[in-house]
Amino acid sequence: MKPVEGIALLRQLPTCLLFKRLGETEFDVSIAFARQFGESCVSDAFLDSLRFFDPITKDELSGSYHPFAMAEETLHLCQWVRIQSYERGIQFFIESAVISVDNVSLVVINAKAVQNNLFIAPEESSPVGKHITFNGLLSTLSSQLINTTSDKIDSLIENILGAFGEFCDLDRCYLFEFYDDTKFACNTHEWVAAGVTPYKNDLQALPMESMPYFNRKIKQEGLFKVNNVAYLPDDAAGEKEEFERERICSILCAKIELDDGIFGFIGCDITGSPYTWRDYDVKYLQRIAQMLANTLQNAHNERALQEAKQQLIEANLKLAKLVNIDGLTGIANRRLFDDTLQSDIQRNIRRKTPLSLLLIDVDHFKIYNDCYGHVAGDNVLIQVAEILKKTCIGSDDVVARYGGEEFAVIMPFTDMSSALKVAERIRNNIEHAAIVFKQSMYNSKLTISLGVSTMSFNHPISPTELIQRADAALYLAKSLGRNRVEVWDAQETTLR
């Protein structure tokens, strides 16, 4: 931009200005604007480094969205923008106008730094006003906490960090959690201003022994405050190296404690150039840390309660299994059989559908035990139970150990014809399992006998009667030589 007396005057004005000739791309700034970024003069390097971002979406404003492009389009621009140099980023409220200086049309942008900006000296803003504004922010965040649920904790923490970062015009704000007895730290949540590089993914499983100075300060004093990273002591060489890698010049961290001990810490930093943290900066961060501590404690308590409930549910399931499941075979026991038969009969009466019952006895099981021992006998019962489960594939069928070597199968919605087919299939599967039993009269193989009874929908009977009929059929099968299926065929009686 060619020197023009009016333009030279704009550079000297004690206000933050950005300006350029109408229709051109190169722009200039006032010295006052450059000083906001720690620059003593306006250099080409400084101008080339300036980038503009939307503070909400964090998208870079370029092309037709560049502030100067929009100022030329609308002639009067009013918006928030974050301006990032190679040293630091600052949030401004900008307004534009087109003026004429020395017969040259200029687009001029007036940039007002956020009044609660940490770079504003205390005398340039009202401490009382700032305190009131911060309390308003805390009140808003507290209201969100009251109405939140555990599944929204993470997003709420992100909102808290973002609100605090924007209020104080920070570059980064983050939450670290300690684990493995505070030997490691993990960056769980991070907010960064527009144009600032995030480091959350890099800062996982960070060994605290590599940062002994920070580790001691945050755990013993509860606070880590560094105005200028360049002046860290020699015993903080590891910390200094990491901070410089992240371009951190000033850093402030506060410990977060829960009922069961230290949880981690909340931190914020300024990149590009040093900043002297003030007392109210520390107090604000500590109040945010306490808010997060309350949030995390509530979440911790809720998780503990959920875990206790889950443990209770699992304990009840185990208890129910002990009460209702046969310990040897893993199928239903007599207690569950009785309860199920009672409820299934009532259901089938309501729906007017048949129900069948099988009673099964392992043939000459006492002789088998005497010949092969009780361990072998137990194994036989387990094998028989497995074959029963695999053969009875109805979704409502219940296979139970009725007692000793006797088993039972409840088959709702099953008539006599279908029950006989299932019973014969079970008998055949046991025989084909070829369980060696030399004293058996059937090819030295273990066999079973089965009795079948059915309750038809138009002649309901009691559970006791249904069992008695199946038991009578089973007795008949055994008396006729075993390894067979028999049906109770006496005239049915009605439920009394």
Active-site positions read 405
Q: How far apart are CA 250 and CA 114, in angstroms?
A: 19
Per-residue tokens: 273: 């150039």
Chain position carrying tokens 């649920």:
149
Q: Are 4 and 23 in contact (CB under 8 A)?
A: no
> What strand order describes the sheet that includes 398-403?
398-403, 406-412, 355-362, 448-455, 485-487
Best CA proximity match to 167, nearest among 223, 91, 228: 91
> What strand order describes the sheet that includes 248-258?
206-207, 184-192, 172-179, 261-271, 248-258, 223-226
Residues paired with 265 in a beta bridge: 176, 255
Task: Give start and end residues of each alpha helix (H) in 37-92.
Answer: 44-49, 67-74
Q: What is the DSSP string of 239-306?
A: HHHHHHHTTEEEEEEEEEEETTEEEEEEEEEEESS-----HHHHHHHHHHHHHHHHHHHHHHHHHHHH
Per-residue tokens: 352: 């007017």
Best CA proximity match to 106, nearest among 233, 14, 9, 203: 9
